[in-house]
Structure 1
Amino acid sequence: MVTGDRVAASAVEAPAAAEARAAEARAVAETVTDPELPMLTLRDLGVLRDVRVAPDGAVQVTITPTYTGCPAVQTMRDDLRARLAEAGFTRVEVRTVLHPPWTTDMISKAGRRNSPPPGSLPGPGAPPHVRADTADPRPAPHRGALPRCGSPDTDELSRFGSTACKSLRRCRACREPFEHFKEI
């Protein structure tokens, strides 16, 4: 026999359990790093917009890429699904929304703080960096050493590379062209 107190208690426990599960899913999603800027999480960059858990346990994650044609979006989706699956969330939908569009204002204080300063990551395979200062419209100089020769002396060949977040530069020393992540 179920008493009235027991029914009332389970009605209170159900929303509390659902809120706890949603908080757990959000905490897991917030640990996923950006594939191109691995020192920053999707939350740090402002790419992670929302995480919800439906009453049936399905998780819906909403992201907004920094650029509408960003080739890293599929990797972000895959990484979110994998991390949530590891935490026991088996049904995960990752939605991409473009409105409101992403801006650098969405980068968190932690994201700005955790971004390596320009030129601090020299050498092969060095991840790019994010610069919080965007007031100067001129292209920022490449300050990191190049993978091939190590020279920091470069010229910008094109403001746009294979994606909008990259520019095409060339080393003045060895003449090697390379893509450079723009400071945002």
Structure 2
Amino acid sequence: MPPAEEARLWTLLDRLTDPEIPVVTLREMGILRALRRGVDGQVEVVITPTYSGCPAMDQIADDITATLRADGIGGRVVTQLAPAWTTDWMTPEAREKLRAYGIAPPRCGAAPEGESVIQFAAGGRPAARHAVACPQCGSTNTTETSHFGSTACKALYRCLDCMEPFDYFKPI
């Protein structure tokens, strides 16, 4: 794809926001993975879901298709499952926008070097967790109240200093 055409397409698609978190764009979230031409010459927009079964993916695909069509571009959305999406693909801008919106962003580097994202409890005790900062006051004196928040990719927390509840975007 010629660089000018690719830049034009990215400019169009950069307006699209996550249907569940309208302050961040699909590209900032790392959901929009690539632009390419299919063997038939059609524009293909490659997306990767944040997790399998994410209910927003159909809306995301529809929004992309509608955006392309509104600009007279024939194209399709291709869902790519591997490599699996990770919160490491979120841009620093997305993390800051989440925080400003009231959602604690995932820590950078979902799994530190040599450590698995999946952690098992030793001896039946919960694995130690990192501190989650409150997006309202910045305190790390917080507690998880539910492992599932407003969506499956978020957990519900409460700040024990300002007492405000907030979502935490789980690192994947």
TM (norm. structure 2) is 0.64
Given that 2:134 and 2:166 are in contact with CA atoms closer than 8 Å, whether structure 1 keeps it comes out as no
Q: Is 1:53 matched up with 2:37?
A: yes
Residue number among 115, 137, 156 corresponding to 2:97 in the alignment: 115
What letter corresponds to residue 59 of structure 1 in structure 2? V
Mark the structure with the bigger radius of gyration. Answer: 1
Secondary structure of the 2:78 match is strand
Q: CA separation of 1:28/1:102 partners in 2, compared to 1, >3 Å: closer, same or farther?
A: same
Match of 1:34 in 2: 18
Matches within 5 A, 1:137-156: 137-138=129-130, 140=132, 156=144
Match of 1:85 in 2: 69
Unaligned runs of 5+ in 2: 113-127, 137-141
Unaligned runs of 5+ in 1: 1-14, 123-127, 145-153, 173-177
Post-superposition offset of 1:139 = 7.5
What letter corresponds to residue 167 of structure 1 in structure 2? A
Q: CA separation of 1:163/1:49 partners in 2, compared to 1, >3 Å: closer, same or farther?
A: same
Match of 2:153 in 1: 165
Q: Is 1:94 matched up with 2:74?
A: no
Deviations 1:122-141 (A, max 9, x none): 6xxxxx45244457835847
Q: CA separation of 1:131/1:169 partners in 2, compared to 1, >3 Å: closer, same or farther?
A: closer
Post-superposition offset of 1:83 = 1.5
| Percent identity of paired positions between Structure 1 and Structure 2 | 37
Secondary structure of the 2:20 match is coil
What RMSD over aligned residues (CA atoms) do the two structures have, in Å?
3.5
TM (norm. structure 1) is 0.60
Q: CA separation of 1:157/1:84 partners in 2, compared to 1, >3 Å: closer, same or farther?
A: same
Secondary structure of the 1:115 match is helix
Post-superposition offset of 1:167 = 2.9
Q: CA separation of 1:44/1:169 partners in 2, compared to 1, >3 Å: closer, same or farther?
A: closer
How far apart are the structure 2 equivalents of 1:102 and 1:75? Answer: 18
Moved over 6 A (4+): none
Q: CA separation of 1:168/1:107 partners in 2, compared to 1, >3 Å: closer, same or farther?
A: closer
Match of 2:169 in 1: 182
What letter corresponds to residue 83 of structure 1 in structure 2? T
